[in-house]
Chain A
Amino acid sequence: MSIKFENVSYVYSPGSPLEKKGLENISFELNDGSFTAIIGHTGSGKSTLMQHFNALLKPTSGQVEIAGIKIKSDTNNKHLKNLRRHVSLVFQFPESQLFESTVLDDIAFGPKNFGYDDDKAKQSAQKWLKKVGLPVEIGSRSPFELSGGQMRRVAIAGVLAYEPDILCLDEPAAGLDPRSRKQMMELFSDYRNAGHTVILVTHNMDDVANYADDVLIMEHGKLIKHSQPTEVFKNRSWLKEHHLDEPKSSVFAAQLKNYNFPAPPLRLPDLISGIKQNLKG
């Protein structure tokens, strides 16, 4: 189920005056079961890159290989459903995709499309409704009666309900309150620990520090760095040069002038233990 990009480029409306480069010569490989964060500025090509994962966009040149399926510019659309069964995308503000008359029906929409029979789809819907932290009674209500945060959970349950091997998320916690945000991220972390691959597009460096074990950094449609979070956040001047933020813990640590940290602490526990070390020594 590994993901491999080979010299992938993507051009929007080629040949017209509105032609625009989306991706330029991108190559990388992601391992099974990894939690990858894609970061970069707005307009750096993160979303364009993400839409290549399940062939919503096909590369203008180069090749993408996902779950054993090769996608090139001339790949036929007909056989992509199988790919989408394995790789699913959750777009920003996914609550705008709800449409069924009840929450359970909406969650079961995906599973049904991918060949679950009615009973199995319903069971899966109920299971994931609970897993995203919503009470069972909500299942029979209309999704449009729910709050924004609840709708978000329903939408995400709708994607998780057929348990795709690779889950790509575009800012899944944008606009949520801090508590829901944490719950949501924990849910994805659990999903990954259950043996799936998770890819997260985000602006939140704390999420990167807390959950990711692999980072892709995009700039102007190019991949400028692919490495682990500890590597990425080690070089502060490089981050500044590319207008990227740091996790709050490392920002705080940098302000502690007389303290010594072997490496910037990325998470709160690292920061705390680092301070303890300094106080002792």
Chain B
Amino acid sequence: MSKILIGRYLPGDSLIYKMDPRGKLLATVLFIFIIFLANNPFTYVIITFFSLVAVAATKLKWKIFWEGIKPVIWLILFTSLLQLFFTVGGTVYWHWGIFALTSYGISNAIFIFIRFTVIVLISTVMTVTTTPLEIADAIEWLLIPLKLVKVPVDKIALVMSIALRFVPTLFDETFKIMNAQRSRGADFNNGGLVARAKAITPLLIPLFINSLSTAIDLSTAMESRGYRGDEGRTRFRVLHWSKFDLCNLGYFLILTALLVIFRTH
């Protein structure tokens, strides 16, 4: 369970940690789009370099990022292999039935591999350096334009922060119930598919009941502290742009510019 890195925050104190989450979120989304601008070896070198600099700027151990890639490594390799053997065009080096090893295939496979890896890397940089609450704040800010079309952005934001707040609590609760049921002989890891699905009942039912009763308690507590759900609430956590955030976006704009200049038509 602890191996999954995507969506997990790790404490640290490098510059990236102090950046505005809105900037980081925008940059990450932007990155996923601009990566498709790359279409020749030189542009891929640029992208790899820029991503590695971003990873290094977190000052976290490289091992952490390897842990981030590990769960998707098979997907990445599988896609690369498909590209390698099924791409037609260029010089043909080897040929057998529907399989063919061509120069286009090799370059495509390498490109796809780089593309996947850097997307995972950059999203990992984003999630490990930003707390879930900061991400929720950033998403709320990005949703503000939707207020014009009557989307209840404040409520969505509240739901998001409550949900994020309870992820660790529910995790703890899940582990506790699992351990309690294990102590009375429940077996979650053995048996066939049906047996395992059945074994989950002693875990799921208490978890549902706990979540519902927590929800009721929490809503009562919120109301008794003066929450009425309407607009006009003030904000305690305010996000601030600093010059670092301009650097952050500037960094990705430079990357975009370089890609546009060096891409082939």
- Please determine whether A96 and B12 come into contact, CB atoms closer than 8 angstroms: no
User: Which stretch (B41-49, B84-92, B139-147, B200-208) binds chain A?
Assistant: B200-208
Give the complex CA separation of A189 and B42 in angstroms: 76
Chain B residues within an 8 Å CB radius of A159: 183-184
Judged by a CB distance under 8 angstroms, whether A222 is at the interface is no
Chain B residues within an 8 Å CB radius of A84: 182-185
Chain B residues within an 8 Å CB radius of A91: 176, 179-180, 183
Contact with B along A122-151 (1 / 0, CB 8 A): 000000000000000000000010000000
Chain B residues within an 8 Å CB radius of A113: 184-187
- Please determine whether A17 and B187 come into contact, CB atoms closer than 8 angstroms: no
Judged by a CB distance under 8 angstroms, whether B148 is at the interface is no
- Please determine whether A89 and B12 come into contact, CB atoms closer than 8 angstroms: no
- Please determine whether A144 and B209 come into contact, CB atoms closer than 8 angstroms: yes
- Please determine whether A81 and B205 come into contact, CB atoms closer than 8 angstroms: no
| A-B CB pair tally, cutoff 8 Å | 75
- Please determine whether A114 and B185 come into contact, CB atoms closer than 8 angstroms: yes
Chain B residues within an 8 Å CB radius of A94: 180
- Please determine whether B11 and A109 come into contact, CB atoms closer than 8 angstroms: no
Among A16, A85, A98, A109, the most chain B Cβ lie within 10 Å of the Cβ of A16
Judged by a CB distance under 8 angstroms, whether B177 is at the interface is yes
Chain A residues within an 8 Å CB radius of B61: 17
Residue of A nearest to B189 (CB): A77
Distance to closest chain A CB from B103 (angstroms):
42
Out of A15, A18, A96, name the residue touching B206 (CB < 8 Å): A96
Distance to closest chain B CB from A276 (angstroms):
45
Task: Bin chain B's interface residue count.
Answer: 20 to 34
Judged by a CB distance under 8 angstroms, whether A51 is at the interface is yes
Known: A17-B60, A17-B64, A99-B206. A51 touches B179 (CB 8 A): yes
Q: Provide the main secondary structure of the chain B interface.
A: helix
- Please determine whether B177 and A97 come into contact, CB atoms closer than 8 angstroms: yes
Known: A97-B177, A99-B201, A99-B206. A88 touches B184 (CB 8 A): yes
Which residues of chain B from 67 to 124 have a CB within 8 Å of any chain A CB? none
Judged by a CB distance under 8 angstroms, whether B220 is at the interface is no
- Please determine whether B185 and A99 come into contact, CB atoms closer than 8 angstroms: no
Chain B residues within an 8 Å CB radius of A89: 179-180, 183
Judged by a CB distance under 8 angstroms, whether A78 is at the interface is yes
Out of A18, A77, A85, A98, name the residue touching B185 (CB < 8 Å): A85
- Please determine whether B177 and A96 come into contact, CB atoms closer than 8 angstroms: yes
Judged by a CB distance under 8 angstroms, whether A56 is at the interface is yes
Give the complex CA separation of A194 and B205 in angstroms: 34
- Please determine whether B2 and A13 come into contact, CB atoms closer than 8 angstroms: yes
Chain B residues within an 8 Å CB radius of A221: none
Known: A88-B184, A114-B185, A144-B209. A18 touches B10 (CB 8 A): yes
Distance to closest chain B CB from A11 (angstroms):
12
Give the complex CA separation of A165 and B31 in angstroms: 60
Give the complex CA separation of A231 and B12 in angstroms: 45
Which residues of chain B from 162 to 190 have a CB within 8 Å of any chain A CB? 173, 176-177, 179-187, 189-190
Judged by a CB distance under 8 angstroms, whether A110 is at the interface is yes
Distance to closest chain A CB from B234 (angstroms):
34
Residue of A nearest to B210 (CB): A96
Distance to closest chain A CB from B190 (angstroms):
7
Residue of B nearest to A53 (CB): B183
A-B contact pairs, 5 of them (CB 8 A): A89-B180, A96-B176, A109-B185, A109-B202, A114-B185
Q: Which A residues are closer than 8 A to B by beta carbons?
A: 13, 15-18, 51, 54, 56, 77-78, 81, 84-85, 88-91, 94, 96-99, 109-110, 112-114, 144, 158-159, 162
